[in-house]
Chains A and B, each alone.
Chain A
C-alpha cells in the first residue's frame, strides 16, 4: 500500500516536473532510418537543456505531412514546427500570416543569424526576394549522378561523363557490355527544374516567382526540347530506360546493375552504400556543352522547417533555440554523415572537411560542391504555386515524350499552357 502511494507521489512529481518544461511539437516526413536520425537530433537537444522538450512526430510522406498540417491549422490544432517540401513551399508561404518567418523569429529572440553563413545553393530557396529566410532549410539535397565503377571499367571508360555529349559516347560502350546507360528518379526534379538551373535558364516570370505570383512558365525552350528528344531517342537505342515515376523503381535498376548511371539525390548516398554489391562513384549532374559551358549550379530539393504563427512567446523562444541548435556545425555534420543530405552551412562543411570525412568518402562531397558553384541569375530556385499539380502534368508530358506520343516541343508547349492556367488560379486564390 505504502509503496503504491509512493509511486503515485513519484508519478505526480514527474508530471509536475514535465509541466515546467515547454513542449514543442515537430511534424516531419522522415521515415525509416531518416526518422531515427531525426529522433536522435531531438533527443540530443532535449538532453542539452531542461527548459524545452521537442517531440518529433512522423506524419507520412511529404504530401501527407503537408495535408496533415493544413487540416490541423484549419482546426486550430497546428503543431509548432512543420517540415514542408520544396514543391509545397509556395502554398504555405503564400497563405498570409500562417508562417512566422524564421528570420524574424531569430531577430526577435536574439539568435544570431546571417544568411551568408549558408552555402549558396541553400540560401535562397526558402527566402523572400530580399533574401530573408522564411523557412529554415532542413533536409537538403541536390540531384547528382551515381555511376557503377565496375561497369565503367568493363566498358573501358576512365571517367564518368561530365557532359551529355560525353554520356552519349559512353552509353554506346556500356551497351556493348550489357548495361543500359541511365535511369533517373523524380524526373521533374532531376531532368526538369535542376536541368534548367544547370543550364542557367529562367523557369518562370516574376523572377522565377520570387518577386510575386508568376503567371508564365518557360519549360518549352531549345535546351529542354533537345534534351528530352534525346532521352526519347536514347530510350529507343537502349541507352536510357524509364522505370516509371516511382523513385525506388529507377534506383532499383541501378542497384540490380541493369543501368550503369542513375540520377538521384545526393541524400540517397547512405542507402546505396549499404546494399550495393559493386563499387559506385558520384559525380556532378551532366550538362549540354552545346548550351552552356561550364554547367551552372543546381539548387536544393528536400524540405524546410516552417514555424506556425500564433504560438506563445515561450514556445517561440524554444523554437528559435532548437532551430539554431539544428544548424550548429556539429549537428549538421552529424546529419550529413548519417543521412547523406548536405550540410547547409559553410561552417558545417568546413568541419566535415577538417574531420577528413571526404578523404574516406569523397562521394559525399559532390552534392555540396555542386551547390557551392557560383550563384547565377537563374540558379536560386523557384517559388511557384500549385506546383504539385504542375509536377504531375510534367510527369505526364515526360511520359508522352518517352512513349513517342508527342515531340518534346509539343509536350512542353502543352505543359506550359496547362501550368500557366494553374499559376493563374494560384495567383487569383492567394492574391
Chain B
C-alpha cells in the first residue's frame, strides 16, 4: 500500500490549528487570566489593581464556608457518580438483553440527555415546589418531612436525585455500546461455563466494560463538579444554610454576584488544581486496573 503523506511540513499544522486555537482561546487563556486575577485585588470595574501575593488564597482557605462547600461537593459528586453510573449500567444491561423493543427503549432513554441542566432544574423546581409541587406533596404524604427550602438534607437529596437522573442517559448509551462491543464468542463461551446470570455479569461482562466505566467515571465526576451548576442555580441556589453549594457555585456567587474577582479567581485556581490532581490520580492508579 502506498503511504499518503503531505509534502509540505506546514499543512498538518494548518489542519490542527482550529482545534489549537479553540483550546488556546477558550481554555488556556482564561486559565492564565484566572491565575493572574488570583494574585491581585481588583475592584469590580477594574479601576484599581494591586498585587497581593497569596492573600486571596489565604482568605479562601481560612474561611470555614469554603470547607463546608468542599465537603458538600465531594459527597455530592460521589453520590451522583455512583447513582448515575449504577442506574445507567442497569438499564443498559436490561436493554441489551432485549431483542424486540431495544430500539424504542434506546431512543426513549436517550431523551433526558437533550435537556440543558438549567431546564432540568427548572422542572424540578416545579415538581418539588412547596405550594404546588406534586412530588413535594407525595413525599410529605409518605411521612418524610421533605422541605428543600429549610431542611438541608431534603435539598441535598433533591439535587442528588435530579443530577443523577440527568446523567443516566449518557451513561446508559455508553454502557450499551460498550456491551454491544463485547465479542459474541466470549459471551457464548461464558454461557457454557456458567449458569448464574449475575456471576457471569460480574466476572465476564463487567471487567470487559472497564474501559467504558473508567471513561464514564471521570466524565461523571467532572459533570457533578461543574455541569450541575445550572441545576443548582434554578433550584436551591446553594440554600438552605449554604449546604447545597458546590465549589463551582460558590465561585460564581463570589465572583459574579459579589463582584469579588480576586477571591473567586483564587478559588477557581484551587478547584482547577484539585480536579487536575484527581484526574492524574485516577489515570495513574485506576487505569492500571483497566484492561483495554
Contacts and interface: CB of A to CB of B under 8 A. Distances in A.
A431 B52 CA distance: 14
Nearest to A258: B131
B232 to A, nearest CB: 14
B41 A429 contact: yes
B227 interface: no
B239 A395 contact: yes
B263 A425 contact: yes
Given A74-B45, A393-B65, 15 more contacts: A91-B44, A95-B44, A242-B149, A244-B148, A244-B149, A244-B239, A388-B257, A388-B258, A389-B253, A392-B242, A399-B240, A402-B150, A425-B41, A428-B41, A429-B48
B242 A95 contact: no
Interface residues of A, number: 42
Contact of A73 (B45, B50, B148, B242): B45
B257 A249 contact: no
9 contacts: A67-B259, A70-B259, A73-B45, A74-B46, A88-B259, A244-B148, A246-B149, A399-B241, A430-B43
A96 to B, nearest CB: 5
Nearest to A250: B149
A271 to B, nearest CB: 16
Contacts of B242: 392, 396
Contacts of A403: 150-151, 240-241
Interface string A280-318: 000000000000000000000000000000000000000
Given A388-B257, A388-B259, A243 B47 contact: no
B256 interface: yes
A95 B59 contact: no
Interface in B265-282: none
A356 interface: no
Nearest to A395: B239
A402 B149 CA distance: 12
Nearest to B155: A244
A370 B292 CA distance: 74
Judged by DSSP, the binding face of A is helix
Interface in B231-263: 237, 239-242, 253-254, 256-260, 262-263
A403 B151 CA distance: 8
A393 B250 CA distance: 12
Given A74-B45, A243-B130, A67 B257 contact: yes
Given A67-B257, A389-B258, A421-B59, A244 B45 contact: no
Contacts of B254: 389
Nearest to B149: A244
Residue in B59, B258, B262, B263 whose Cβ sees the most chain A Cβ within 10 Å: B258
Nearest to B129: A249
Which bucket holds chain B's interface residue count? 20 to 34
Interface in B145-173: 148-151
Judged by DSSP, the binding face of B is loop
Given A252-B131, A425-B263, A429-B41, A67 B149 contact: no
Nearest to A393: B65
Interface in A45-67: 63, 66-67
Contact of A95 (B43, B50, B52): B43
Contacts of B42: 429
Contacts of A388: 257-259
B260 A245 contact: no
B286 to A, nearest CB: 36
B222 to A, nearest CB: 25
Interface in B29-43: 41-43
Contacts of B52: 428
Contacts of B130: 243-244, 249
Given A70-B259, A92-B45, A389-B254, A249 B239 contact: no
A96 B257 contact: no
Contacts of A91: 43-44, 259
Nearest to B263: A425
Interface in A349-389: 386, 388-389
A289 B74 CA distance: 48
Contacts of B45: 70, 73-74, 92, 95, 98
Contact of B48 (A396, A405, A430): A430
A70 B150 CA distance: 33
A70 B149 CA distance: 31
A396 B55 CA distance: 25
A429 B262 contact: yes
Interface in A234-265: 242-246, 249, 252-253, 256
A386 B258 CA distance: 6
A245 B240 contact: yes
A221 to B, nearest CB: 22
